[in-house]
Amino acid sequence: MPRLEANLQYMFNELALLDRYDAAAEAGFKGVEIQSPYSVPAEQIVDRLERNGLRHIIINMPMSDPDTGLNNVPLQPDRTDLYRERIAQGVEYASALGCLGVNVGVGPLPDGVSDEEAWSTLVSNLKYAAAELEAVGVKGLIEAINTRDQPGFFIHTTAQTRSLIEEVGHGNLFIQYDFYHMQIMEGDLAPTVKENLDLIAHMQMADTPGRHEPGTGEINYDYLLPYLDEIGYRGWVGCEYAPLKGTREGLGWADRWLK
């Protein structure tokens, strides 16, 4: 049975961040993820995890450019030092929270940077990130993002993600596969997942259009979730969606998976 976990950036966000951990556990989740935990001391999050018997599955590296606000520091040739500072922060939190993986970030192509420069910079930065995360037993994850929601996002297909991992050539770098983003960019979800299962270490889900809970759009999760069992996926699936009417009210689709 696929192990569902709650994305607390999107779910239960009518509550203060720490209280979302309690709410996720009350709803039946055994795992959680969040893009940005950095506004709260790690020890306070650990307390909520332990109190609720939760596992923190992933976080994101803090990759926002302080000048533009875009999350594309990994692509900037002149910001390698800043990237390494951010990696250190992410590694510290991931280690403290006991994360299985960290989204190491990509972002949209920066102004004035060619595709070739961005690619070579990203490859170099990811070699560093993969090694730093490996030292604390955490996997580095790369997520392709659709270019409708985030125009110009540099890595936006599964094939690009795989090529990037192969070029980096470090054994601690994996695919974070998001059904929502990849339905928009390429479709053909089931065979793509099966073909890339050797590199997929984490998955995320939302329906489209709208990025709401399963059953509100065109993606057939009644097929896909059992299919993950059939092909041997043993990782977690993050519920990274914006609830249509409220987190609790919209969890009926997950009853059979959370019990």
Q: Which residues are catalytic?
A: 143, 240
Task: Name the amino acid, one letter, at 168.
Answer: V
* Rounded CA separation 204/142 (Å): 12
Prior bond of 209 cis (ω within 30°): yes
* Rounded CA separation 73/80 (Å): 8
Q: What angle do CA 184, 101, 3 make, to 5 degrees?
A: 70
In DSSP terms, 34 is beta-bridged to 59
Three-class secondary structure of residue 40 per DSSP: coil
Other beta carbons within 10 angstroms of residue 13's beta carbon come to 15
31-34 vs 173-178, strand pairing mode = unpaired
Residues 188-211 as b or e (16 or more Cβ within 10 Å = b):
ebeebbbebeebbbbbbbbbbeeb
**Helices then strands (H, E): number in the chain?**
9, 8
* Rounded CA separation 106/122 (Å): 8
**Contact present, 226 and 192 (Cβ < 8 Å):** no
